[in-house]
Amino acid sequence: MKLLLLVLLVCLALCLAALLHTLVTPVRKSTYQPANDDPRALPYARKLSRMVQADTCSFRDTPQPAKFAAYQALLRELFPLVHEKMEITDLDGSLLYKWKGLSDRYPIVLMGHQDTVPVEEGVWEQPPFSGAILDGKVWGRGSVDTKCSCMAFYQACEELLAEGFVPPQDIYLSTSCTEEWGGPGCPAIVAELERRGVRPWLVCDEGGGLYTSPMPGIRGTYAMIGVSEKGHANVRLIARGPGGHASTPQKNSPIARLSAFVCAVERRSPFRSRMEPEVRAMLETLAPAAGFQIRLVLENLWLFRRPIEWFTPLISGQAAAMLGSTITFTTASGSEAANILPREASLGANIRFVHHQNMDESLEVLRRLAARYDLEMEVLSATPCPKMTDIRGSAYRYIETTVSRVFPGCVSSPFIPTAATDCAFYDSLCDSCIRFAPVIYSPEERRSIHGVNEALQYNCLPGAVDFYKSLIAHSDEACDR
């Protein structure tokens, strides 16, 4: 009885300490808002519109040289100084630009991609390649992912070149035409840089951005700076059986075993849930902007971290993706006739790895679980998690400084995107690969990526151009860090 009372008193004391800490911690919200009267916004939107009108949908292992040649001709028209003054290397349609600076000690790579995913079936409010400028938005495939950031860094370079500016450090622009299917475009660019002996100090690609409402309960626009990304794999799970006629049912058939496996995985994830230091830093950064109940939890992770790791993945897919490896079942096959039992049935699944349970361990966990259901597992493709960029390092702090300079009042936070980017290919060359496009993405715009009605609110484009101009113009700060 005394022990139980002691435990209760300790729990009460801990909860009171958490409550007091929350009450004395100041509320801090991100206050940045883009200007709605910047005269540059519409001209920038017109350039982005032209880029969206060019169909650059890419398809796995399907070269389309004429399509990308036409798009690159458009880029030469829209950004003539970039194409006149910079050294350009064409690697089967993927482009590497070099802008010679005063020094080559701390080179910076600005990244994007030329290609888009194919058009999703569905009802589009505006045709997907119209580039329509309506309701303050540029509509169409690629407007969000990611011709907007490409337009911004091309335009930033164009304006600086027009001023006769010479960057303090060498600047490279890297644009692949195979990003959407993980093709050879970016690896070819990386190989070219490696051949030249170039080791970038900073690589800045898509992945994060200026997110409005980055998490439920968090209001405002935050600079979510991606410091790595999840690894990924595609696997095939195979069940075999004797087959036969459907009029003679079988117990433990291939489809039954696959179904039991899916139910087991979805009922309880086989992967370990743990809060990476970078995820903890993100939650603690965003906490002061939340309502009191969320603040109470997130501002006291010394007390609530374990319960978050245990319980939130059970109720939130977003939390599960932040805290552990995930698996999603995407394809299925079995018998080709309704009255025949399959001799073989299979499921396709996509896995996303976290750093604390990376590729080899996550695949082994899944393989062992599959064996319990008498399933074979075939790994079709697999890529481990890239390196984590140090959130206390000079490159990350330089991005933070640039955000503060260009977007006053905007709070920056580390972030681990769940989607794959070309930036991962730079892992062998650069220790500071940042996933951050300086474009405002609302929840609606983030949902439109790879979906129908992709459209971008274009009043954010001047800020995006200014960010890249500042990143280039102040790159001499790299020498002092």
Distance CA 481, CA 392 (A): 11
Nearest to residue 322, comparing CAs of 333, 331, 336, 312? 312
Domains and CATH numbers, the chain: 41-229+388-480 (3.40.630.10), 231-383 (3.30.70.360)
Of the pLDDT bands very low, low, confident and very high (cuts 50, 70, 90), residue 480 is low
Distance CA 375, CA 200 (A): 45
Tell me the Ramachandran region of residue 358: left when phi exceeds 0, alpha when psi lies from -120 to 50, beta otherwise: beta
Query: How do strand 202-212 and strand 433-441 relate by DSSP bridges?
Result: parallel
Question: What are the strands, taking DSSP E only, across 2-114?
Answer: 87-91, 94-99, 103-113
Other Cβ atoms within 10 Å of 65 Cβ, number: 10
Do 187 and 425 touch, CB atoms closer than 8 A? yes
CB 416 within 8 A of CB 229: yes
Residues facing residue 94 across a β-bridge: 91
For residues 115-125, average pLDDT: 90
Taking only the tens place, the pLDDT of each residue in 432-441 is: 999 999 999 9
Q: State what percent of residues in the chain have pLDDT above 90.
A: 79
Q: Report the pLDDT value the prediction gives residue 18, as an integer from 0 to 100.
A: 74
- Per-residue model confidence as pLDDT tens digits over 196-215: 999 999 999 999 999 999 98
Phi then psi for residue 256, to 5 deg, are -65, -40
pLDDT for residue 25: 80
pTM (predicted TM-score): 0.93
Percentage of the residues of the chain whose pLDDT score is greater than 70? 97
Phi–psi pair at 474, nearest 5 degrees = -105, 20
Is a pLDDT exceeding 70 seen at residue 479? no
pLDDT value at 184 more than 90? yes
Return the pLDDT at 26: 82
User: How much is the average pLDDT of 30-39?
Assistant: 92
| 425 has pLDDT over 70 | yes
Most confident of 414-418, 449-453, 468-472, 474-478: 468-472
- pLDDT, greater one: 293 or 366: 366
- Residue 223 is predicted with a pLDDT of 98
- pLDDT-derived band at 13, boundaries 50, 70, 90: confident
- The reported pLDDT for the residue numbered 326 is 94
Query: Whose CA is closest to 229, among 361, 375, 416?
Result: 416
- Range name among 184-188, 299-303, 386-390, 455-459 with the lowest pLDDT average: 299-303
SS3 label, residue 219: coil
Tell me, what's the pLDDT at 1? 66
Q: Is the pLDDT of residue 274 over 90?
A: yes
Burial 196-219 (b: 16+ CB within 10 A, else e): eebebbbbbbbbbbbbbebbeebe
State how far the Cα of 458 lies from the Cα of 44, in Å rounded to an integer.
8
Cβ-count burial of 470 within 10 angstroms (0-12 exposed, 13-18 middle, 19+ buried)? Answer: middle
Angle between helices 41-53 and 461-473 (to 10 degrees): 100
Cα torsion 386, 387, 390, 393 to 10°: value is -100
- For the cut 80, the answer to whether the pLDDT of residue 431 exceeds it is yes
Average pLDDT, rounded, for the chain: 93
Q: What is the number of alpha carbons within 13 Å of residue 375 lying toward its C-beta?
A: 27
| pLDDT for 478 beyond 70 | no
Give the pLDDT of residue 21: 77
Please give the Cα distance from 398 to 404 (Å, whole number).
10
Which range (59-63, 249-253, 403-407, 425-429) has the least confidence? 249-253
For residue 223, give the H/E element and its range: strand 221-226
Structural contact between residues 397 and 471, judged by C-beta atoms closer than 8 angstroms = no
The pLDDT value recorded for residue 474 is: 94
Rounded to whole angstroms, how far apart are CA atoms 171 and 138?
28
Tell me which residue has tokens 């439109």: 448
Band (pLDDT 50/70/90 cuts) for residue 15 is confident
For the residues 128-138, what does the mean pLDDT come to? 97
Looking at residue 27, what is its pLDDT?
Answer: 79
